[in-house]
Amino acid sequence: MARGTHRPERGAAAVEFAILLPVLVLIIGGIVDFGRAYFTQIVLTNAAREGTRVAVTKSPVADITTRTQAAAKPVVDSGYPVVVGVTGDCSALTPSATVVVTATVSNFSYFFLDGFIPGLPHTISSRSQMGC
């Protein structure tokens, strides 16, 4: 008789797992996607800072862009082109001169969250400003 009392619960764990599996996959995928986006933001921030440091040494724009691109190599190696923008010039010795370097990835794609959460930003950008 004890054997027959457990029959109605047979397969309940499989049904519960089937209900929770999509939620768990979405949560794990979200963690992975936001981790990738955060990593990209950190790399772009460091690249923009490096470009600003080079700009303050009165280097030409080509050197600033090259150094910023080199600092953003982990993002470029992931398949995302980095666009570098330089505003300002430190070659003039004016005390109020500043230089601004921006590093931008405009086509960042999420692996898991693209279809689930509308309105996620696909442009990740960082800006660094320093006085000459």
pLDDT tens-digit readout, 8-25: 677 888 888 899 999 999
- Residue 2: which pLDDT band, with cuts at 50, 70 and 90? low
Cβ pair 125, 105 in contact under 8 A? yes
Predicted confidence (pLDDT) per residue in 65-115, tens digit = 999 999 999 998 888 899 999 988 777 666 678 889 999 999 888 888 877
- Order of all β-strands in the sheet with 83-87: 83-87, 98-105, 124-131
| Helix, coil or strand: residue 23 | helix
Q: Provide the pLDDT for residue 85.
A: 92
- Residue 71's pLDDT is what? 93
Residue 50 vs residues 44, 95, 105, 119, 126: alpha-carbon distances, Å: 10, 21, 17, 31, 12
Given this model, what pLDDT does residue 6 score?
57
Q: What is the pLDDT of residue 56?
A: 87
Classified as helix, coil or strand, 128 is strand
Instruction: Indicate whether this model's pTM tops 0.75.
Output: yes
Q: In this model, does residue 31 exceed pLDDT 80?
A: yes
Residue 19 structure tokens: 């209900």
| 125 in Cβ contact with 44 (< 8 Å) | yes
Query: 64 in helix, strand or coil?
Result: helix
Residues forming a β-bridge with 83: 104
Q: What is the mean pLDDT of residues 45-52?
A: 94
- In whole angstroms, give the CA distance from residue 12 to residue 55: 64
Residue 131 three-state SS? strand
Mean pLDDT of the chain: 86
